Structure 1
């Protein structure tokens, strides 16, 4: 009986030690990582050659260059960006396509630092959209301000000493570009001021 009691006490002690250790790890994770989510801002955006045409299908053509500023506010943790999967959408969520170029694609962001990612969306070949989306874009262009949404799914690794934790933050940016007619008959313009983005984990 004494050997059985010792084994039970040993098992209980091991379980208690495991629970305490797991709780400590979770506490450290919360203290280090949770208060220091990345911040994102659209620093600049330039829109050119925006046209809306109705042939057999309603198509939108455009070219949009976006500078996305990413900031790591942490004093202790560096961030590896392994991938940034972006999509441009019209207001309301209709997809206008992904970027034709992204720079840089992968990078290390050091503590308390900011990096700029340039996203280039080229829809000059024409993108099919629902009729109501095309009508809204045409209305906005006539009113002098066109709204877009930039959605970015990021894959990152937080690094603290030898510890690395993977996360997949979702970045969402609402961008409104003031536009005016261009010589080609299309419209274009640039962002007047920076737009803060929302970041969810």
Structure 2
């Protein structure tokens, strides 16, 4: 008990408690203002697509391709560093998954200092094909034959830790990048390919 017996003593006790809570709230506010991390910024630095073919047979439809993407990640925070603990990526066409990236993402995990940019290389090696729905294969085949660009979507899910001195905050942001890659025939084979150096910003959602 703070004290007993008089109203003035109770008032003093309540005032001290109020000041203590107010001070604690002020400390938390100052800490959050300094620690509050900014969202990661992501851009596609480059993407190279090769050996893209579509087999839309009546029995089974599949897509074969090789894709290498360089994803640039920027930490805009002034005081906060970021630990990238895990990264999972997959490629999609019209919401249909065309396969996850290889396990050998480079680098697999790393620490990013404040106000710096780091590149991550993602590789999709599906030269032997990946099964898709016949409707997906048909739409992709139509895009290829149109002679324009193939529209793909890169989904990247991260597991990160923001670090400010002794404090750490865990987050799981998701990155969504639209890839529009002009394609053309490669040699005498049936496959098509193309490359793009976009620098287009990706969407990042926490």
Q: Normalised by the shorter chain, which TM-score bucket?
A: 0.7 to 0.9
2: CA distance, partners of 1:124 / 1:4: 85
The residue that corresponds to 1:159 in the other structure is 163
**CA-atom RMSD, angstroms?**
2.4
Q: Any gaps of 5 or more consecutive residues in structure 2?
A: none
Q: How far has the Cα of 1:2 moved from its partner? A: 2.3
Query: Of residues 181, 198, 201 in structure 1, which corresponds to 2:203?
Result: 198
User: Is 1:93 paired with 2:115?
Assistant: no
1:39 is matched with 41
Provide the residue aligned with 2:191 in structure 1.
186
Counterpart check, 1:102 vs 2:112: no
The number of residue pairs the alignment matches comes to: 199
- Alpha carbons of structure 1 residues 84 and 22: separation in structure 2 relative to 1, 3 Å: farther
CA distance in 2, matches of 1:23, 1:84: 36
Q: Say which SS state the counterpart of residue 43 (structure 1) adopts.
A: strand
Of the structure 1 ranges 1-10 and 137-146, higher mean CA displacement relative to structure 2 is found in 1-10
1:176 paired residue number: 180
Shift of 1:124: 1.5
| 1:172, distance to aligned residue in structure 2 (A) | 0.7
Using a 3 Å threshold, how does the CA distance of structure 1 residues 63 and 24 change in structure 2: closer, same or farther?
Answer: same
Deviation of 1:18 (Å): 4.6
Q: Would the alpha carbon gap of residues 192 and 106 (structure 1) be closer, same or farther in structure 2, given more than 3 Å must change?
A: closer
Structure label with greater radius of gyration: 2
Q: 3-state SS of the aligned residue for 1:124?
A: strand
- Which residue of structure 2 aligns with residue 59 of structure 1? 62
Stretches of structure 1 that go unaligned for 5 or more consecutive residues are none
Which residue of the partner structure matches residue 149 of structure 1? 153
TM-score (norm 1): 0.88
Q: Provide closer, same or farther for how the CA distance between residues 11 and 149 of structure 1 changes in structure 2, counting only shifts above 3 A.
A: farther
